[in-house]
Chain A
Amino acid sequence: MKADQNLDCTGLYCPMPIIKTADKFKQLKVGEILEVIADDTGIKEDMPAWCEVTGHEFLGMEEDGGKIRTYVKKTH
């Protein structure tokens, strides 16, 4: 998937990938897509949950090797 910006959270455990995502979102423009790369499997549930609560759009995830790439669109 094509993203406007990416955030590497490899080697970080919960809650850091989500905290960094929330922080990064402040710099993003509405409509932009952020790719978050992480290797803590917690993100598979945490990222959709974060999107559900914050109202941003969860576009999906891809797994390659031990890396999980999640894609989130800023909606507001």
Chain B
Amino acid sequence: MAEKEKLSIVVFSGDLDRALAAFILATSGASMGMEVSMFFTFWGLNVIKKNEGGIKSKGIMRKMLNFINRGGSRRLTMSKFNMLGLGTWMMKGLMKDTNTPTIDEFIAMSHEMGVKLIACTTSCGVMGIPEDAFRDEVTSTAGATYFLREARESKVSLFI
């Protein structure tokens, strides 16, 4: 085969359901031999935050933001019918019943398949998220120009 086709995905959302859709597409693309990059920005950064420990940010506003918006793959909720967590709990049950991987498992799988996980530096700066708040699978941090360069070279480019 010729040069690898590229798939680039912006993950703007920190919702469980949207993150699931993003990872299903990323892992499918990787198994089709595509070179996949996922660019996490704004609420999407919650998907790749570590589940453990606190987030050390500077200033009262950012401290407050990162307290109420803690994030982490296991804390994501559904975009609809969350119902104070009941809906999300039920959905996680349904996913388990149907052997659907969790977001954690999808992140590990994506990493093994060579999917690049990139955190947006601007969102990190504005929201006061230090780089050590992210999981080890996160490959790098970058800006919008980096993503657009990837998107220009991509056969498929998505915003989720």
**Contacts A50-B32, A55-B1 known; A19 to B27 CB distance under 8 Å?**
yes
Is the pair B28, A18 in contact by a Cβ cutoff of 8 Å?
yes
Q: In this assembly, does A54 line the interface, its C-beta being within 8 Å of a C-beta of chain B?
A: yes
- Of the listed stretches A6-14, A27-35, A62-70, name the one at the interface; the rest are far from the partner chain: A6-14
How far apart are the CA atoms of A27 and B101 in the complex, in Å? Answer: 23
B interface residue count range (under 10 / 10 to 19 / 20 to 34 / 35 or more): 10 to 19
Secondary structure of the B side of the interface? loop
- The interface of chain A, by Cβ under 8 A from chain B, is 11-16, 18-19, 21-23, 50, 53-55, 76
Contacts A18-B28, A54-B32 known; 20 new A-B pairs at CB < 8 A: A11-B98, A11-B99, A13-B98, A13-B99, A13-B100, A15-B27, A15-B28, A16-B99, A16-B100, A16-B101, A18-B31, A19-B31, A19-B113, A22-B30, A50-B31, A53-B33, A54-B1, A54-B33, A55-B1, A76-B1
